[in-house]
Structure 1
Amino acid sequence: MTTLEITMYELGRLFLMPVLILILLLFAYAFYALGAFAVAAWQRRRGLAACPLREQLARHGRLDSEELELVILRRLEPLRVVSRTAPMLGLVATMIPLGPALLALGDGDLATVGEQLVVAFAAVILALITASITFWILTVRRRWLLVALKRIEREEAGA
């Protein structure tokens, strides 16, 4: 391999551990968000949940629809970012170990190939589970917030 190829190979390998740590952090966040979602769903079902948009209105006074839409986007942004970046990080965490796995395969070292592939597949599975959970929560929460926005708009139109 040339110096450029070796440099790129080593630089790519440097990113494996940070990407794996990020995937684990996002996985933990997904389960935290799932717990918060379950509590919110339980509160909604029992009629105990306060409307988050009404909280914003109480805090800031009268807000128009566009400002409330920005509040909705701001509330959903962490879920959206996680649901979109987790699969990309999973792909990165899959591709990085493939280089060493292919090199080990060329040397006939099947144990190293197996070790590298286990890391690659475990990372992508966790990333996809993370993305699935956060996307599902994002979708339902967006519906809840848009229903609340529509209700507020109707009340203000009638007032």
Structure 2
Amino acid sequence: MNLIELTMAEIASLFLMPVLVILALMFTYAFYELGRFGFESMMRSMGRKKEQPLKRFWRKNPKADQQEVELHLLKQLEPLRLVSRIAPMLGLVATMIPMGPALMAVANGNFQEVASQLTVAFAAVIIALLAASMTFMTLSVRRRWLLEELKSLVLAKEAAKQDATAELKAA
């Protein structure tokens, strides 16, 4: 290997530990969000909707228009969306980094090192895919819930506006 190849291999290996830490954090976040989602889903099935986040936002910001509420909705969903998209990419990175040393170990006949490197590679991709799956599922359903809430808020606001207009005309 020449100097450029060695340098690139060394730089790539420096990223393994940070990528594994980020994946562990993403998995922890995904597991936390899955728990929150499960609790919220259970409460909804029992007919006990917790306070709706968009309604709370609109109450705190009465002059907010629909676009501002939609932006707030997107901000709430953004972490789930990012984890569901970035985790598989980082899983691939964490899979590929140990493959170089594993292939070198195969060439040297060091099968213990091959097993060690491949264990890290496969564990990382599994954790990444689990994190992405949990956040994608949570994101999909929560987005629907928030859009349903937004629709009911807009309809309620329009009805209130029509009632106020009708009262003005009657007076």
Q: TM-score range by the shorter chain?
A: over 0.9
CA distance in 1, matches of 2:59, 2:47: 20
CA distance in 2, matches of 1:82, 1:24: 12
**1:90 maps to which residue?**
91
Deviation of the 1:144 alpha carbon: 0.2
**2:100 maps to which residue?**
99
Deviation of the 1:156 alpha carbon: 1.6
CA distance in 1, matches of 2:44, 2:137: 17
Cα root mean square deviation, aligned: 0.9
Deviations 1:39-81 (A, max 9, x none): 2112222333111111001111132211111011000011001
Larger radius of gyration between Structure 1 and Structure 2:
2
Secondary structure class of the residue paired with 1:78 = helix
Equivalent pairs counted in the alignment come to: 159
CA distance in 2, matches of 1:3, 1:56: 57
Q: Please state if 1:4 is matched with 2:8.
A: no
Q: Please state if 1:134 is matched with 2:135.
A: yes
Gaps of 5+ in 1: none
After TM superposition, the score normalised by the length of structure 1 is: 0.96
- The worse-fitting range, judged by mean Cα deviation, of 135-144 and 148-157 is 148-157
Q: Percent identity?
A: 52
CA distance in 2, matches of 1:61, 1:43: 27
Written as runs of structure 1 = structure 2, the 5 A alignment for 1:2-151 is 2-48=2-48, 49-151=50-152
Secondary structure class of the residue paired with 2:105 = helix
After TM superposition, the score normalised by the length of structure 2 is: 0.90
Deviation of the 1:127 alpha carbon: 0.2
